Amino acid sequence: MSPQQTWTSIKIPLALSGGGNLSDVPRLSPNDYLKAYKHLRYLWLNQSNVYSYLRPTEQWQLHKFFRPSEELSKEELLQHRKDITIKNPSLPHQAGKALKEFDQVMHSKVKARGVTGLKTQAIVRGNRSVQVRSLVRPQIDIPRLARALIELGERKTLN
């Protein structure tokens, strides 16, 4: 998959963009699960900010079920799917709903999320507006955390 490809050229293996009831998410075959992982992994590595258009709970569901932040073999993924389904039988359905929502968000080029209930914080200063969304990261980014703590310490010493 080349970096030039956009979501519209990447088809999630389910017919998710159509209407219908969210509870009608079809069960993923092993092949479809692997394809969905591949697409989610590509987005995580190349455009992780698009995950922020999902609610944090939806992001966690995708991360728990598909593990897109990790490079896993086909066998590891299928074993993970089997294990996580036994430990949390409702997760496949929840992740399927999150995947469907993600598909809808991506196909609408980041729709206005007021309709689906995503709460964002808008800060307006003069002619500028800043909107804040959350992006969950399953693994702690130690260098980023260290920089934040150092900067916090520096600010506190200046005050």
pLDDT in tens, 82-106: 999 999 999 999 999 999 988 888 8
- C-alpha 39 chain-centroid distance: 11
* Listed ranges 6-15, 69-78, 145-154; the one with the highest mean pLDDT: 69-78
Residue 77 is which amino acid?
A: L
pLDDT in tens, 108-150: 754 444 444 455 556 666 777 667 778 888 888 888 889 988 9
What pTM did the predictor assign?
0.68
3-state secondary structure of 118: coil
Sign of torsion over alpha carbons 116, 117, 122, 127? positive
Is the CB of residue 72 less than 8 Å from the CB of residue 80?
Answer: yes
Q: Distance between CA 58 and CA 68 in Å, rounded? A: 13
Structure tokens at 94: 């929840």
Q: Where are the domains of the chain?
A: 7-158
- DSSP strands (E only) in 2-159: 121-125, 128-132
